[in-house]
Amino acid sequence: MPLAPDFLSDTAAIVLGKTLDATAARQKSIANNIANVETPGYKRSYVSFEEELRSALNRKDK
């Protein structure tokens, strides 16, 4: 019996990892925006999950 189900192939694992990276980047941006809500002159940052994931999947360092 295999340790991991067949649907967790190498490709799926890579995509899941990149998805987690994109989600983490977005959450970090949101946390920074909340932490700096009262900081004068602070400009909020925005991370598009879709753009981050697309960029991560297109990188050569898969």
Tens digit of each residue's pLDDT (9 = 90 or more) over 15-34: 888 889 888 999 999 999 99
Average pLDDT of the residues in 2-7:
60
- Is residue 16 a part of any domain in this protein? yes
Kindly report the pTM of this predicted structure.
Answer: 0.67
- Is residue 3 a part of any domain in this protein? no
Residues 6+ apart with CB under 8 A from 48: 26
- Is residue 5 a part of any domain in this protein? no
- Is residue 1 a part of any domain in this protein? no
DSSP character for 3?
S
Rounded to 5 degrees, φ, ψ at 51 are: -65, -40
Count of structural domains within the chain: 1
**Alpha-carbon distances of 15 from 8, 35, 40, 61, rounded to whole Å:** 10, 30, 39, 12
Question: Does position 7 have pLDDT exceeding 70, yes or no?
Answer: no
Q: Which domain holds residue 29?
A: 10-36+43-58
Q: Which H or E run includes 58?
A: helix 49-58
